Amino acid sequence: MIDVNPISVFEHDHAELNREVLELGSLLAALDGAAAVGPGLAERFAALRDDLFMHFVREEEGLFPFVSTAVPDLAQEVAELIAMHDEICGAVARMVHAAQVGSTAAVVRAIFERFETAHARHAVTERSVLHRIGGRLTPAQAGELAELIRGL
């Protein structure tokens, strides 16, 4: 059995992702709306996309199936989180593409605002689900979940 609290792993991931989102929002806000988004910022958006996709894989392939079995009364909230993942993935993919083709900061900012709203709504819902899961797992279940997500 592993000593790592698996819920804290997801909470840590979210803290890092939130930091990245805030930092990118500040960088984007500082640009003149008519200026093209440069390759450096496009690379940062692509890195955020990759980090989000990996986080979602760990949740959808590890956490969510486990929760559906161990805490079945949270199944509806898990389904909502999966739908939010799809919304976030769509927005971040459009944002990355717009930045990579040199769209103006105003265009990328509009997409970023939709992304940021979806991401914030998701974070609140996920934090609530993680809190309720963490309090209900037995030590054996926590160890099983930690082992499951370690490989993802």
Range of the domain at 93: 6-150
48 found inside a domain: yes
| Total of domains in the chain | 1
At a CB cut-off of 8 Å and minimum separation 6, what does 130 contact?
7, 10, 11
Residue-wise pLDDT for 3-23, tens only, equals 467 788 788 788 899 999 999
Which residues is 36 bridged to in the sheet? 104
Cβ–Cβ < 8 Å for 37, 108: yes
Q: Is 1 a domain residue?
A: no
94 in a structural domain: yes
| Residue 108 belongs to domain with CATH number | 1.20.120.520
Q: What is the pLDDT of residues 56-115, one digit of tens each?
A: 998 999 889 988 888 899 999 999 999 999 999 999 999 999 999 999 999 999 999 999
Phi and psi torsions of 3, nearest 5°: -85, -5
pTM score, whole prediction: 0.87
Model confidence over 32-51: pLDDT tens digits? 999 999 999 999 999 999 99
- Rounded-to-integer distance, Cα 130 and Cα 59, Å: 11
